[in-house]
Amino acid sequence: MFEAVLLTVITAATPLLIAAIGELVVERSGVLNLGVEGMMIMGAVVGFAVANQTGSGTLGVFAAIAAGMAMSALFGFLVLVLVTNQVATGLALTILGVGFSGLIGEAFIGIPGLKLPDLYIPVMSDIPFFGPVFFQQDALVYVSFALVIAVAYFLFRTRLGLVLRSVGDNHVSAHALGYSVIRIRFAAVLFGGACAGLAGAYMSLAYTPQWVENMTAGRGWIALALVVFSSWLPLRVVVGAYLFGAVSVLNLHAQAVELDIPSQLLSSLPYLATILVLVLISANRRLTLVNTPACLGKPFVPDR
């Protein structure tokens, strides 16, 4: 029973972790992209469609990444080049993604999906309990942890990471030192889009290998909340993602043990938890200011 709970928590937390780590990099550069949900759902439908047509889950994953990057490139062009409002543009991106994914995915509703295979590590995967939980997951679970480690190292152990953080903290000074604020932010936005697309691919190729309209079900918004919850620190995103993952699967296991709790209430718990966390964080001004990029959401127009 406990093994089954852990397995479902891992699968529920993985898309949140991947999407949140990408958005963390975006916000560290000083850009607020509220279009994570739209990029995720586009990644989900494109990944499913390509995998279904080619018979290759790998091609589906790469197509989902490309879809997420295409959406983020549109966002980046609007907010960084045309200097549109970041909040309004991000919301519009989500609306566009949800609507366009429904149009693309209409032909794939009810079609059986292609599930990404679980990896098998000889000897390690056969260990009771630990084997299935830690050594017999699909590749994207391990990719999610690799992304966290790579992002943490990049941000705090490399010169480029320092430059990106400086752009997010003071874009005027970074520009004065000769750094291209627009290019750095555009690269961060593309990375965030790639991660959101990958998270969407996980939804339609691993979590539930099928296409269902609006299947991301607000996970993009939870990923945005996770970035704030983690105080913009990569390793804390892991903790937050798995906590929210555990809350989100509570409904399934509560029904399995026949708890007398309305399923609608249990289904709403992840979103109630998101609201509660944001309220608690916003109430603590010191916690709110810790690691918050000083230029987050502020437009930058280079000197002509």
Does 38 map to a domain? yes
Does 178 map to a domain? yes
Does 303 map to a domain? no
Smallest Cα–Cα separation from 270: which of 247, 291, 292?
247
- The per-residue pLDDT for 142 is 95
Does 231 map to a domain? yes
Give the domain extent around 44: 2-289
What separation, in Å, do the N-terminal and C-terminal C-alpha atoms of the chain show? 64
Does 296 map to a domain? no
Does 302 map to a domain? no
- The per-residue pLDDT for 1 is 60
Does 294 map to a domain? no
CATH number at residue 76: 1.10.3470
pLDDT per residue as tens digits for the range 108-144: 998 988 899 888 887 788 788 777 888 889 999 999 9
- The per-residue pLDDT for 258 is 61
**One-letter identity of residue 65:** I
- The per-residue pLDDT for 132 is 81
Q: How many domains does the chain have?
A: 1
- The per-residue pLDDT for 36 is 98
- The per-residue pLDDT for 66 is 98
- The per-residue pLDDT for 135 is 83
- The per-residue pLDDT for 5 is 78
Which segments in the chain show pLDDT lower than 50? none
- The per-residue pLDDT for 127 is 84
Residue by residue, DSSP assigns the chain as -HHHHHHHHHHHHHHHHHHHHHHHHHHHTT-----HHHHHHHHHHHHHHHHHHHS-HHHHHHHHHHHHHHHHHHHHIIIIIS---HHHHHHHHHHHHHHHHHHHHGGGTTPPP-PPPBP--TTGGGSTTHHHHHSSSBHHHHHHHHHHHHHHHHHHHSHHHHHHHHHHH-HHHHHHTT--HHHHHHHHHHHHHHHHHHHHHHIIIIIS-S--TTTTTTHHHHHHHHHHHTTT-HHHHHHHHHHHHHHHTHHHHHHHTT-SS-HHHHHHHHHHHHHHHHHHHHH-HHHHHTT--TTTT-------
Does 295 map to a domain? no
